């Protein structure tokens, strides 16, 4: 019987970098001859139809910029449900065999028992250390669930796992930056940003007001939020921005600075754990993580240099391209196939 690979994803239809990476791995493997299926659990909504049935949301990642036609999707469950589009859907259960591979995001480890997937081999696709221990019961690690391997997307995540779960074998894979959609464009006096939560927004607003207070002559620079946009629209808005702010203190992996570099948009931001593997003094303008005053002052300092044409942009663009070299689609495909082949060989 041919080995099958199952990817489990939360039923989230808003743009998500993490789900995008999971689907990209699944697509690469499917396009290279593996039997790949994506599993999800339909999410009940607050809507009720005329017969009193609860309507369910199904997984429809229409925001993904690559083709998903090679993937098979299964809605998990035992009943026929009605979707929030008014259609009937037969949910299914899946029988896992010992030679199968189940791939889980790091925050969904408990789904192993829900799926009765203890017979097959499970690997974690680790994209953030922030979700690893909150998803586990006290005093438990992945080893207690029978896991032996994980796929890691950054040095920071790999280091975290090596330190706290040394029995886990790690396959490191780079993600890619799609240069077809992330590309330079004519700049406008715009500074873009993403806010993770209320506290991040509060700190960012303080930094912005510090900038305007110190440099009122540059009040024609406007700030633009990129949260929740489809990838194509996100990339277009990022590309016309002269600057982007990076103010994420807890991310163990962030694509934003790299996506900005691909657009030749200058990054001003906090130097944090999640981006240390690829940032340098030559590919952005970095201040101590969490320092709001330093961030506000740095925004003003760099905007001032830019307006006075004192930034060596040609050198910066050259440094951006060097930074992006490991993050190509070709490299990602090679590493994804090699990583999953290694895991599959171990369990076969």
CA pair distance 187, 143, nearest whole angstrom? 50
The larger pLDDT score, comparing residue 348 to residue 327, is at 327
* 3-state secondary structure (DSSP) of residue 307: helix
Whether the CB-CB separation of 209 and 153 falls below 8 Å is answered with no
Helix (H) or strand (E) holding 150: strand 149-152
pLDDT digits (tens, 9 = 90+) for 159-174: 999 999 999 999 999 9
- pLDDT of 252 reads 59
Q: Rg of the chain over CA atoms, in angstroms?
A: 22
Residue carrying structure tokens 């490991």: 326
Beta bridge partners of 121: 101
Whether the CB-CB separation of 175 and 21 falls below 8 Å is answered with yes
- What's the maximum distance between 2 C-alpha atoms anywhere in the chain? 70
- pLDDT of 214 reads 98
**Based on the number of CB atoms within 10 Å of its own CB, is 336 exposed (0-12), middle (13-18) or buried (19 or more)?**
buried
Cβ atoms within 10 Å, residue 57:
16
* Domains delineated in the chain: 4-176+328-347 (3.40.50.2000), 188-326 (3.40.50.2000)
Rounded average pLDDT over 108-116: 84
Terminal CA-CA length for the chain: 11
Cα pseudo-dihedral 136, 167, 117, 175, rounded to 10: 80
Give φ, ψ of 162 to 5 degrees.
-60, -35
Residue 270 predicted with pLDDT over 80: yes
Helix (H) or strand (E) holding 336: helix 329-347
- pLDDT of 253 reads 67
Residue 200 predicted with pLDDT over 90: no
pLDDT digits (tens, 9 = 90+) for 73-110: 999 988 889 888 888 999 999 999 889 999 999 999 88
pLDDT digits (tens, 9 = 90+) for 275-297: 888 989 999 999 998 899 999 99
* 3-state secondary structure (DSSP) of residue 70: coil
């Amino acid at each position: 019987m041919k080995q099958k690979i199952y990817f489990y994803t939360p039923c989230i239809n808003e743009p998500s970098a993490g789900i995008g990476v999971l689907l990209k791995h699944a697509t690469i493997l499917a396009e290279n001859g593996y039997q790949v299926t994506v599993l999800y659990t339909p999410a009940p909504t607050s809507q009720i139809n005329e017969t009193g049935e609860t309507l369910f949301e199904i997984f429809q990642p229409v925001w993904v910029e690559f083709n998903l036609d090679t993937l098979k999707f299964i809605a998990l469950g035992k009943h026929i449900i009605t979707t929030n589009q008014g259609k009937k859907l037969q949910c299914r259960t899946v029988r896992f065999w010992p030679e199968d591979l189940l791939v889980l995001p790091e925050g969904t480890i408990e789904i192993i028992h829900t799926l009765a997937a203890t017979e097959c081999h499970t690997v974690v696709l680790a994209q953030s250390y922030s979700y690893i221990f909150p998803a586990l019961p006290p005093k438990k690690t992945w080893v207690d669930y029978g896991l032996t391997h994980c796929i890691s997307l950054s040095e920071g995540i790999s280091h975290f796992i090596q330190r706290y779960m040394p029995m886990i074998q790690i396959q490191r894979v780079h993600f890619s930056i799609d240069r077809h959609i992330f590309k330079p464009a004519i700049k406008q006096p715009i500074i873009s940003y993403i806010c993770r939560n209320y506290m991040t927004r509060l700190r960012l607003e303080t930094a912005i007001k510090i900038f305007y207070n110190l440099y009122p002559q540059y009040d024609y620079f406007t700030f633009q939020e990129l949260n929740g946009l489809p990838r194509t629209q996100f990339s277009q808005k990022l590309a016309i921005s002269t600057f982007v702010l990076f103010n994420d203190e807890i991310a163990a992996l962030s694509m934003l600075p790299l996506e900005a570099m691909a657009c030749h948009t200058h990054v001003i931001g906090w130097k944090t754990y999640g981006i240390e593997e690829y940032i340098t003094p030559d590919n952005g303008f970095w201040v101590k993580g969490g320092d709001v005053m330093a961030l506000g002052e740095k925004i003003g300092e760099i905007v001032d240099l830019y307006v006075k044409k004192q930034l060596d942009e040609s050198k910066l663009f050259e440094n951006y391209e060097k930074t992006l070299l490991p993050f190509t689609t070709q490299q990602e495909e090679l590493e994804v196939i090699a990583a999953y082949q290694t895991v599959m060989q171990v369990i076969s």
